[in-house]
Every structure is written in C-alpha cells, then in structure tokens.
Amino acid sequence: MITRRIFLGTMAGGVGASLAARRLGAGGGVARAPFGLQLWSVRHDLDKDLPGTLARVKSLGIDEVESAGYHKRTAAEFAAELRKAGLRCQSMHVGWERMEADFSGVLRDAEALGARFVVNPYLPYQGKAIATREEILRAAAAFAKWAREAKAAGRRFAYHLHSQEFGPATEGTLFDVLAAESGPEVGFEFDVFWVVWGGGDPVKLMEKYARRVWLTHIKDMAKTIVPGKEGQDLESANVVAGTGRIDIAGVLRAGAKAGVEINYIEDESPDPFAQIPKSLVYLKGLGG
C-alpha cells in the first residue's frame, strides 16, 4: 500500500440523490447496497488506455466506480471519460497531503466528478504498522474539520480503514478512539481485508458503528495468509471473493443492516480482470 499512498499523496488535483433509504428485500429484510469497483484495482490498465479500460469495466456489468486519481487528466477531463463509458463516480479517494494542502480544491474536484463521498484512504504515517494515540488524535481533528467543510459543500467525508488503527487503547482499540474523537459527521469505508489484517472483526464493527459505515471495500484474503504477519506476499493474498478466509456474505448482511450505501470491489491481485468477474458472479449469487 505504500505505492498507493505515495501516488495519492502527490496527486494533483450537484450532489446526487441519496442512495436509497433502505428498501425492503423480498424476504422482508434490508436490501443490500449495490456493487461498484474501486478503480485502483485496474490502475495500470487505466494508465495505458483510459477510455478502453473504462469501457472494459462497464462491460463487466459495473455502473459504479470509485476514483483513485485522474490518470494524467484533470478531474473534469476524467469525469468526461467516465460519462462516455456510462460510469458513475459517487466516491473519490484523495490522499492526506492533498487534503491538508488544498481541501477547497478537493471539493471542486468532487463537484466535477459528481462525487458525494470524499474519502481519505490512509493516515500520513507511512511505514508504521500501528499509529500512536497522538497520531490518531491528530487524524481525528483533521477528519472533523474536513467533514464540516465537506458538509458545507454538500458532500460527506469518510476515512478508509487500513490496519494502523487497530492498536490497543483503553477504549478498546485506536479505531474506537478515532471514531469517538472525530465525531458523528465522519463516516468510514471498511476495507474488510485490512480490518481483518489488523485483527478486527468487520461484522462486529459494523454492528457497533452502524450508520457510520457508509462504504465498503470487498476484498477477500487467501486462507494461507496469517493476518498481521509481516513479510507475506500481499498481492497474491488478494483472492476471488468467497474463496478466502473472510466471511464476505456475513459482511454484506451486516453492511445492509448498518446502512452501507455502496460496496466497492477492490482487487489488488496481479490479474484483476481475471478475478473481478469471478468475484461478481459470487457476490451477485448471494442475492439481495
């Protein structure tokens, strides 16, 4: 993830109607949120052929995407390419450094993209397995500020969890500190791979933080991987949804109850276009 952090940290840079108040499913339960794709999954292809890759994403039956940079375009130019492909971008990832330096510019980009969610995908403490309490408190203060500014612009601010937030604290974990200190206007995007890597249980955390988990990254972990153990090949650790150690079906059920609005598939394997269609088959086979 360091490469991604560096990329997002140096990246230059009307509100859509709310994705539904929850609809009742056929069995009377809560309807599951739609699936989208985090475009970081296919970043190398996007760098080589942006229009062709976006068309390929659309051909998989995907309508929703989450951005992670603009691939040598401006936000407006990138948005135009998305429209040509028939894709909608309701959520955007922007690195800490850009947010800290130019949050008003970030909000202008969000307007150009039509993004309702502005998501920070990492804490600025690169190369550290666990953040300190002081670093978490600094992040919470920044998140609260950005959430206020986003709300004033008709957007919503969220943080994408990794594993740095799961160190111990008197309150439980550092994530509990972050959630409490940042305040209820800050939402979260649960990357279930990284939650499990950090020792968390995404289902239980969704139950605990219902209504603040707005988005997910659906990413399964190979059964051979030991969560939290350094030195493992994390690229090959990312497997087709439903074939790994994470209870993806349970995550989706818990997410529906917690108020998740979009489930983004993120595939960081060496061959994402081989795995993503298989993940979609599994996910859609779970039903609504």
- Report the domain count for the chain: 1
Cβ atoms 101, 74 nearer than 8 A: no
Ranges in the chain, pLDDT < 70: 1-30, 126, 288
Containing H/E element for 198?
Answer: none
> According to the model, what pLDDT value does residue 127 have?
72
In a domain, residue 181? The reply is yes
pLDDT at 10: 40
Q: Exposure of 58 by Cβ count < 10 A (0-12 exposed, 13-18 middle, 19+ buried)?
A: middle
Asked if residue 255 lies in contact with residue 206, where contact means CB atoms within 8 angstroms, the answer is: yes
- Residue 137 burial by CB count (10 A; 0-12/13-18/19+): exposed, middle or buried? middle
The upper half-sphere exposure of residue 5, i.e. CA atoms within 13 Å in the direction of its Cβ, equals: 12
Is 20 inside any structural domain? no
Q: What is the C-alpha to C-alpha distance for residues 244 and 274, in angstroms, rounded to an integer?
A: 16
Measured distance CA(122)–CA(126) in Å, rounded? 9
Sign (positive or negative) of CA dihedral 194, 277, 239, 250: positive
In a domain, 177, yes or no: yes
**pLDDT for residue 30:** 56
Q: Is residue 222 part of a domain?
A: yes
Count of C-beta atoms within a 10 Å radius of residue 171 = 14
- Domain residues for 54? 2-7+30-285
Please tell me the predicted confidence (pLDDT) of residue 288: 62
Greatest Cα-to-Cα distance within the chain, rounded to the nearest angstrom: 51
Residue 180 lies in a domain: yes
Residue 261 and residue 214: Cα distance in Å, rounded? 5
CA-based nearest residue to 122, from 189, 216, 172: 189
Q: Residue 165: give its domain's CATH number.
A: 3.20.20.150
Residue 12 included in any domain: no
CA distances from 165 to 56, 92, 95, 194, 272 (A): 35, 21, 17, 10, 27
Which of these, 273, 253, 275, lies nearest to 263 by C-alpha position?
Answer: 253
Residue 22 lies in a domain: no
Cα atoms in the 13 Å half-sphere on the side-chain side of 251: 28
Q: How far apart are CA 9 and CA 6, in angstroms?
A: 5
Locus of tokens 């979260």: 188
In a domain, residue 19? The reply is no
What is the rounded distance in angstroms from the CA atom of residue 146 to the CA atom of residue 140?
Answer: 10
**Beta-sheet pairing, 187-191 with 172-173:** unpaired
- Say how far apart CA 146 and CA 112 lie, in whole Å: 18
